[in-house]
Chains A and B, each alone.
Chain A
Amino acid sequence: MLEEFQRIGRDLFLSGLVSSHGGNMSVRMGDRVLITHRGSPLGQITAEGIVETGLYDNDSSIMLASSETPVHRTIYQQTAGLAIVHAHPKVAVALSLFEDEIIPIDNEGSYLLHKVPVISSEIASGTAMAGIVAESLQKYKITMVRGHGCFAIGQVLEEAWQWVSCLEESAMVIYYARTLGGQTKEFRKNADQYKKW
């Protein structure tokens, strides 16, 4: 499991989806949670950089765990996710400052994500944000917090990482398409339905 955290953490950093000490990750093991240490650089995770804590109950490990542990716990309690990746994809963050939802226009993003909602919360780790992020992730595999970053869930870390990577690529395609200007040509049979996803 440590190798999995290290592999995904390193790739998140190297692909620019988090800054040196940004983002966090966790895995649910039944009623227990393994989560990255607070302030842990995701590109350089060590054995001490992973903390085990309870899904429902607090323990002293909370002193070490990521400050967004309450968000992770709430997500696990309210969704089917087994792994969470929280990252700060730059283009998607920029888009979130303009949009209430990000609807991919590229094939991969349409196929895998359909739609990514954008929610607002000024506090990065509060109970209020935990609730709205978890509520959003009940219906979507990835959600954006406006001006902040994304939370993605999966069965394994790699799957959640894929949603983050896919979102950022879709955000970049939207950015490029808008920069190029003009009317895009549609290739999806049910393009108008994606907004309703």
Chain B
Amino acid sequence: MGCWVGKIARVNLTTGKVTVTDLPKEMAVSYLGGRGFGARILYDEVGPSVEPFSPENLLILATGPLNGSKAPSSSRFSVTTKSPLTGTIFDSNCGGKTGIKIKDAGYDVLIIEGKAAKPVWLMVDENGIKINDAANIWGQDVDITTDTLLGQVANPQSATVACIGPAGENLVRFAAIMDDKSRAVGRGGVGAVMGSKNLKAIVASGTSHESVVDQETLDFIVYEARKVLKQSPITSIGFPTYGTSSLVRVMDMMGAFPSYNFSESSFGYINDVSGETLREKIFVKQKACWGCPIGCKRVTKTKNGEGEGPEYESLWALGPECGIHDIEVIAEANYLCNRLGLDTMSAGVTIGCAMEMAQRGIVDSGVKFGDIPSLMKMIENIAYRRGFGDALAEGSRRFSEKYGVPEYAMQVKGMELPAYEPRAMGVQGLSFATSNRGGCHLRGNMLGPELLGVPKIVDHSGASGTVGLLIFHQHLSAAFDALGVCKFAGFAVSDEMLARMMTAITGIAFVPHDLHAAGERIWNLERLYNIREGFTSKDDTLPKRFTDEPLKSGAAKGRVVNLAPQMEEYYRYRGWSTTGIPGKEKLKLLGLEA
């Protein structure tokens, strides 16, 4: 099947049974892979009666068709489940090697169901899938777990480890799965679902079996794609030199860099936390995901440690969002989250929420803005569910609701927001509100058109006119997630090039429209899933702060998100009802009719 191996593996941890079935070709072409496969399988198998932590919930690791190919920046794989943080369908994706290795082992998809009687880890390779006792690593952090498992496998050089830390074991609702220590399948509590199944780790290993129908054409398209990556200053200078933190000063200049739990839209100590400062003070070397010519990752070193990161979002969440501007402390908080297996973003924003509530005298949580020792201690307490950390381990929405002040949780559908101030952007707030997995910057980020000018700069004053463009980007994002391609490559590589690569690899004629159609199909299927779970248009909303409180300063001073008219346009343009339900005609067009 060209870029698809053609096999789905299913592991039942309750029974210990492993089954392998064929990947239906129709599903491959319609949903492409990754997030698309995850959405289709979860929709078909996990209904409203299934609780996220129950054995009946699935953990679906799905590879993309371009994983392991010569397509640039194409190592990303997806993990789909019903999220314990949001209750929605949820996929989180990651640039680590696990996806490629699962594919090399002979599978497009690895479905994990049931619950093991005691802690286990999985070995996935060309010999099959084996369930192993994890007694010696349960309770250990990510670094120790990874090193221990690599010490146990026959060929550690070709193996990769995806594991959970204490946060996942303790069912922290925003626990991550860590891939080779520092790449995170970060969001939505996928690590907690893994922990609920008593699954500590997945070790994957295999040999590449890439199959290409038209190698000469693929080589030419990849050459052209790498050329545009080299010519874009974003992908050839900004990200490689300063990492994703190159966005820090840019966003601050635009008045779109939140701080202090989104009560400010810029940061007074911005030069202390900029990409330039990171490079000057703690940078060790540049690193890249598999097959990525951009290389936005940072290896860093502080007085007390060394590791990877912080990325833009982590730097912000564990820094300015909590009122902290010491770059070394932020990096160390990031290292700690990685070791414990915590999503840095939800951790930072949830702690930021607790800090604001403490500052307002609502709760004596023991943390306050700018308090470094409290931040580090609280990260540990969350992972081990100690003291106040136990309440914060539930995420900002549940924590704030517990005290009757949900307005201080900066979240949508339960997921903590990323580092983009929606009041300073045109339709970014609408993007957050309509995201099927909750507050997220990766479901149709308007950073490109609204701020960076990719493909062209558009009005970001909040005026009408860019809702259609957001929908386009939501579909394109879904297609990228399904293909297994990093969205940073999308700042230069076009959908046209990706379609041509797919054609060259598979021999099936793909055009850009096919990718967008798959994206729209995935988006609507996720929407249907959430509707079946009881979500309504009332959940397509934002914290009151963004709709009711004008920005006090910065480039976007005085602005709020005028969400209602944008939402009306959004539903209408999507061909949905006024209450956000996809119509029969739309579903028929997408091949999603019941």
A interface, CB within 8 angstroms of B: 1, 4, 27-32, 56, 78-80, 82, 111, 114, 138-141, 154-156, 158-159, 162, 189-190, 193, 196
Distance between A44 CB and nearest chain B CB, rounded to angstroms: 20
B interface, CB within 8 angstroms of A: 217, 220, 223-224, 227-228, 231, 449, 455-456, 458-459, 464-465, 467-469, 471-472, 476, 495-496, 511-513, 515-516, 569-570, 572-575, 585-586
A1 adjacent to B465 (CB under 8 Å): yes
A78 adjacent to B227 (CB under 8 Å): no
- Complex: chain B residue closest to A112, CB-CB: B228
Instruction: Give Cα distance in the complex from A93 to B170, angstroms.
Output: 68
Distance between A188 CB and nearest chain B CB, rounded to angstroms: 10
Residues on B with beta carbons closer than 8 Å to the beta carbon of A79: 511-513
- Complex: chain A residue closest to B494, CB-CB: A141
Q: A80-B512, A189-B223 are in contact. Are A156 and B572 (CB under 8 A)?
A: no
A29 adjacent to B467 (CB under 8 Å): yes
A190 adjacent to B465 (CB under 8 Å): no
A32 adjacent to B456 (CB under 8 Å): no
Taking A30-B572, A32-B572 as given, write out 11 further A-B residue pairs in contact, using a Cβ cutoff of 8 Å, ordered by the A residue number: A28-B468, A29-B569, A29-B573, A30-B468, A31-B572, A80-B476, A82-B469, A111-B227, A156-B456, A158-B456, A190-B224
Instruction: Give Cα distance in the complex from A155 to B569, angstroms.
Output: 18
Instruction: Give Cα distance in the complex from A139 to B509, angstroms.
Output: 10
A to B CB contacts below 8 Å, 9 in the list: A4-B459, A4-B465, A31-B572, A78-B513, A79-B513, A82-B468, A82-B472, A155-B456, A190-B223
Q: A30-B573, A31-B574, A111-B227 are in contact. Are A80 and B471 (CB under 8 A)?
A: no
Counting residue pairs across A and B whose Cβ atoms lie within 8 Å, the total is: 77
Residues on A with beta carbons closer than 8 Å to the beta carbon of B231: 111
Residues on B with beta carbons closer than 8 Å to the beta carbon of A114: 224
Residues on A with beta carbons closer than 8 Å to the beta carbon of B228: 111
B465 adjacent to A80 (CB under 8 Å): no
- Complex: chain A residue closest to B457, CB-CB: A158
Instruction: Give Cα distance in the complex from A78 to B223, angstroms.
Output: 27
Distance between A106 CB and nearest chain B CB, rounded to angstroms: 15
Q: A4-B465, A155-B456 are in contact. Are A30 and B575 (CB under 8 A)?
A: yes
- Complex: chain A residue closest to B570, CB-CB: A30
Distance between B228 CB and nearest chain A CB, rounded to angstroms: 8
- Complex: chain B residue closest to A110, CB-CB: B224
Distance between B481 CB and nearest chain A CB, rounded to angstroms: 16
- Complex: chain B residue closest to A139, CB-CB: B511
A80 adjacent to B455 (CB under 8 Å): no
Distance between B3 CB and nearest chain A CB, rounded to angstroms: 19
Distance between A113 CB and nearest chain B CB, rounded to angstroms: 11
